[in-house]
Structures are given as structure tokens and as C-alpha cells.
Amino acid sequence: MNDELARLKEVIRDSDNIVFFGGAGVSTESGIPDFRSADGIYNMEYPYPPETILSYSFFMQYTSEFYRFFKAKMLHPDAQPNKAHFALAELERQGKLRAVVTQNVDGLHHKAGSVNVLELHGSCDRYICIRCGMEYTIEAVYATDDVPRCSCGGTIKPDVVLFEEVLDQSVLERSVRAIRKAEVLIVGGTSLNVYPAAGLIQHYYGDMLILINKSATPFDRYANIIIRDAIGETLDAAVSQV
């Protein structure tokens, strides 16, 4: 075991106030492509770039086209949690991890058994009627080849934060609070370049910032431990026999 991993293991062993902040890299090991990576979903099958299709105005105007893209590219019904998700769920069970703050919308932390999951960008597992507010599951989307409709006739929208939309303030505030109060902050699978990630990390006042990411981030110089390795293997190794 290398030194950094051994230190990470010690830190986890000694703390009961850990918060994890994760990005797309946490889900790539579950076969879900990184939204912003070149080999991700940025290909030319569609006449608009993903940021356009996944925007609120596009959803409102071209709902059918939105759902065609959404089902093909954003839903991954067969994806399973990986070692990173399971390791974090295990740490929560042990009373060590207080919260998972995630930018991912795939619901895999819940699927792995995590309870306190703060989904900054919402979840593809939840749907809501934009007219009456009725809540639906993913089944409503799979039940039709066209736009899913509420029994009131309203359009059903994924409970995800689209481009042009603001983050859910209560989720954001709970995330800030968890990070501010954390003794240990583990950040993984994100380059920390994209809003709101960078802003959130600035709320951490502790002295044990751990970055697990395959490439460098703007926060590397503030980190106490940096691990450039696969996040699933790293967390699995760090959590086993804590």
C-alpha cells in the first residue's frame, strides 16, 4: 500500500465527521459516461449540443426531442453502484460519514444504500408534473414513447436541474452546512472546475482535505492528501478493515 493510501486509511479510521463531495468520475466506473468528457455524450447524433437540449427553454419548447435525448443518453437503467458508492454507504453505516454531496443525477448512491445524499443537480429517478406538482417515478417515462403526461394533462419533467435553472436552495444550503461542519472532506471524481463545485469547497474550514482524482485540480495546493488513482479501488482499499 502506498503512503497516501495508508494516510487516507488512518484519517478515515480516526474521524466520525467525514463528508464526501463527488462528481462525474464517481459514476464512470459504473459505465456512465462523464457528461463533459470528449468521449462522453458529446457526439453528433443530435442536431443540438447537449447543453442546448438539456436546457429549460429547450425542454419547454421541444419536449419530445428533449425526452428522446434524455432517454438515450441520460438514463442508464442497468447501471449498478461501484466500489466507491458501496464504500461510502459502508462509512455512513459505521457512523463515520455524515453526508454525500454529489453532482451526479444517476441515483447510484441511494442504490448502494447511502441515506444522507445531497443531490445538487437532482435525480433521474424522480419526476414531477410542471402543472400540478404530482410526483412520478421513472416508470412514467418508460410507459410512453413520447412525452410523459400527468393525469391532469400537464407535462412531466425530470427532477434534475437543467441548464438555465437554479439549484435547489435547500439542497445547496444543506450541502454548504455539511461541508462547513466537516472534520474531513474527501473530494472525488471531479476536476473542481465547474460551478458549483469550486464554490462549495471554499466552505470547508477543516484541515484535512483529500482529493482523489485522476487529473490535477485547482485545489491541489490546498489538499492534505492527493491520490491520483481510480476512486472505486481507492475508497474500497481505504475503507476495508478500517
Q: Which residues are catalytic?
A: 121
Q: What angle do CA 220, 222, 228 make, to 5 degrees?
A: 30
Query: Which residue, 69 or 127, is less far from Zn ion as judged by CB?
Result: 127
Q: For cell 442546448, name the residue.
A: 52
CB 92 within 8 Å of CB 110? no
Residue 57: CB minimum distance to Zn ion, A: 21
Q: Using the minimum distance from each CB to Zn ion, give the nearer residue, 135 or 173.
A: 135
Return all residues near 61 (Cβ < 8 A) that are at least 6 apart: none
CB of 163 to Zn ion, least distance (A): 24
Of 152 and 216, which has the nearer Cβ to Zn ion? 152
Minimal distance in Å, beta carbon 152 to Zn ion? 3
- 146 and 156 Cβ atoms separated by less than 8 Å: no
By CB under 5 A, name the binding residues for Zn ion: 129, 131-132, 134, 150, 152, 154
Going by the DSSP 8-state scheme, the letter that residue 55 receives in this structure is: B
Give the number of other Cβ atoms within 10 Å of residue 45's Cβ: 8
